[in-house]
Structure 1
Amino acid sequence: MSIASVIFVCALVSVTDFGWSYQIKTVEELKNARGTLLSKEFYRSTGHNVTLDENEKIVNKIMMDLKYEEIRQGYLHPDNWVTSNPLSEVLDAINKSKLFGMIQSMPKGGILHAHDAALGSTKTFIKLTYAPHTWICFVDEDSVLFAFAKDYPKDKCSGKWKLMETLRKAGNFSDESLIGKFSIQTKTFENTKEVWKHFIKTFVNTDNLMEYKPNFEEYVRSFLKECLDDGVQYMEIRSGVPELFDIDGNMNTKEETIMLIQEILKEFKSKNPDFIDMKIIYGKNRRKSATKTLDYLNETLTLSKKFPELIIGFDLVNQEDEGYSLLEHAPLLLNQPLNYFFHAGETNWFGTTVDENLIDAVLLGTKRIGHGYALTKHPEIKEMVKLNDICVEISPISNKMLHYVKDLRNHPVASFIADDVPIVISSDDPSFFNTAPLSHDFYMTFVGIASAHSDLRFLKQLAINSIKYSGMSEDEKTIAHRVWSKKWNNWIMKTIEQHHKVHDFIAPFERK
Structure 2
Amino acid sequence: MLLFGLLLGLALNAVAREWSPFPGANSAAVTEHMLARDAMIKLEESQRQDQDFKRRMSPTAVRADTIVRKIRQYEIQHFWRQSSSEANDTQERFAGLMFPLARPYIKKTRLWTIVQRMPKGALLHAHLTAMLPYGVLLEAVFHTPGMVVSASQSLDTEEARHNASISFSHINTTMAGSFAITSTDYVPGTPVFVKAVASSFPGGKDGFFQYAMSKLVISPEQATQHELGVDQIWRRFQTLFGTAGTLLSYEPIVRTFYRQLFTRLVDDGVNWVEIRAGGIRGKLIHSGEQDADPDLDVWWEVMQDEIERFKATEKGKRFWGARVIWSDYRGRDQTLLNRSMKMALERKVKFPQLFSGYDVVSQEDRGRSLADMAPELLWFQNEAAALNVSVPFFFHAGETLGDGNSTDSNLFDALLLGTRRIGHGFSLYKHPRLIQYAIENRIMVEVCPISNEVLRLATDILHHPLPALVAHGVPTSISNDDPAMLGQDAAGLSFDFYQVIQAFDNIGLAGLGALARNSLRWSHFEDQSDYDWKNDIDLAEEGTGIKAMRLQEWDREWEEFCQWVPTWFKKDLEEHELQQPAREVFERYSGLPPHQVVRHVKYLTDVSRSQVADGVPESNVYGSDLDMRFIDLGYEVFRDRDSLKCKFIQADILDLDSNLEQLGAELGIVSAQSLFHLFPWHQHAQLAKRIITLFKPRGDALLVGRTVGNKIAKKVGGIPGMECYMHTAESWRQLWTEVGEATGTCWDVGVTELPSDPRMSQLVGHDAHMLWFVIRRVA
Match of 2:511, SS state, is: helix
Which residues of 2 match residues 205-216 of structure 1 at below 5 A?
205-216=243-254
Q: Give structure 2 stretches of 5+ with no counterpart.
A: 1-26, 84-91, 153-160, 178-185, 385-390, 527-535, 537-544, 573-779
1:35-79, CA deviations, whole angstroms, 9 ceiling, x for partnerless residues?
Answer: 222222222213211222122122212211112223445895584
Deviation at 1:147, TM superposition (A): 2.3
- 1:26 corresponds to: 29
- 1:21 corresponds to: none
Q: Is the alpha carbon distance of 1:134 and 1:61 closer, same or farther for their aligned partners in structure 2, counting shifts above 3 Å?
A: same
Which residues of 2 match residues 351-370 of structure 1 at below 5 A?
351-370=404-423
1:4-25, CA deviations, whole angstroms, 9 ceiling, x for partnerless residues?
Answer: xxxxxxxxxxxxxxxxxxxx96
The answer to whether 1:56 aligns with 2:94 is: no
Deviation at 1:252, TM superposition (A): 5.4
The answer to whether 1:134 aligns with 2:134 is: no
Match of 2:433, SS state, is: helix
Match of 1:236, SS state, is: strand
Q: Which moved more, 1:395-404 or 1:467-476?
A: 467-476
The answer to whether 1:83 aligns with 2:86 is: no
Match of 2:422, SS state, is: strand
- Of residues 142, 152, 158, the one that matches 2:176 is 152
- 1:312 corresponds to: 356
- 1:229 corresponds to: 267
Q: Which moved more, 1:96-105 or 1:452-461?
A: 452-461
State the AA in 2 paired with 1:283. Answer: S
Give the Cα separation in 2 of the matches to 1:318 and 1:453. 32
Match of 2:285, SS state, is: coil
TM-score under structure 1 normalisation?
0.87
Which residues of 2 match residues 21-420 of structure 1 at below 5 A?
26-50=29-53, 51-72=56-77, 76-77=81-82, 79-85=92-98, 87-130=99-142, 131-139=144-152, 140-141=161-162, 143-149=165-171, 150=173, 151-152=175-176, 158=188, 160-170=190-200, 172=202, 173=204, 174=206, 175-188=209-222, 189=225, 190-240=228-278, 241-246=281-286, 247-251=289-293, 253-271=295-313, 272-334=316-378, 336=381, 337=384, 338-420=391-473
Q: Which moved more, 1:243-252 or 1:101-110?
A: 243-252
Match of 2:326, SS state, is: strand
Match of 2:269, SS state, is: coil
Aligned residue-pair number: 475
State the AA in 1 paired with 2:124. Answer: L
State the AA in 2 paired with 1:297. Answer: M
- Of residues 549, 556, 563, the one that matches 1:479 is 549
* Segments ≥4 residues shifted beyond 6 Å: none
Q: Is the alpha carbon distance of 1:82 and 1:212 closer, same or farther for their aligned partners in structure 2, counting shifts above 3 Å?
A: farther
**Conservation of the 8 A alpha-carbon contact between 1:274 and 1:484:** no
1:426-445, CA deviations, whole angstroms, 9 ceiling, x for partnerless residues?
Answer: 00001112323211111111
The answer to whether 1:434 aligns with 2:490 is: no
Give the Cα separation in 1 of the matches to 2:68 and 2:319. 25
The answer to whether 1:425 aligns with 2:478 is: yes
- 1:492 corresponds to: 562
- 1:13 corresponds to: none
Over the matched positions of the two proteins, sequence identity in percent amounts to: 28
Match of 1:325, SS state, is: coil
Q: Give structure 1 stretches of 5+ with no counterpart.
A: 1-23, 503-512
Deviation at 1:501, TM superposition (A): 5.6
Relative contact order: is structure 1 or structure 2 higher (C-alpha 8 Å, sep ≥ 6)?
1
Over the aligned positions, Cα root-mean-square deviation in angstroms equals: 2.4
Give the Cα separation in 2 of the matches to 1:273 and 1:160. 44
State the AA in 2 paired with 1:81. Answer: F
1:491-512, CA deviations, whole angstroms, 9 ceiling, x for partnerless residues?
Answer: 223333322669xxxxxxxxxx
Give the Cα separation in 1 of the matches to 2:51 and 2:233. 38
State the AA in 2 paired with 1:201. Answer: T
Q: Which has the larger radius of gyration?
A: 2
- 2:539 corresponds to: none
Match of 1:287, SS state, is: coil
Deviation at 1:253, TM superposition (A): 2.7
Deviation at 1:238, TM superposition (A): 0.2
Give the Cα separation in 1 of the matches to 2:307 and 2:268. 18
Q: Is the alpha carbon distance of 1:497 and 1:201 closer, same or farther for their aligned partners in structure 2, counting shifts above 3 Å?
A: same
**Conservation of the 8 A alpha-carbon contact between 2:500 and 2:507:** no
Match of 1:96, SS state, is: coil
Give the Cα separation in 2 of the matches to 1:261 and 1:100. 32
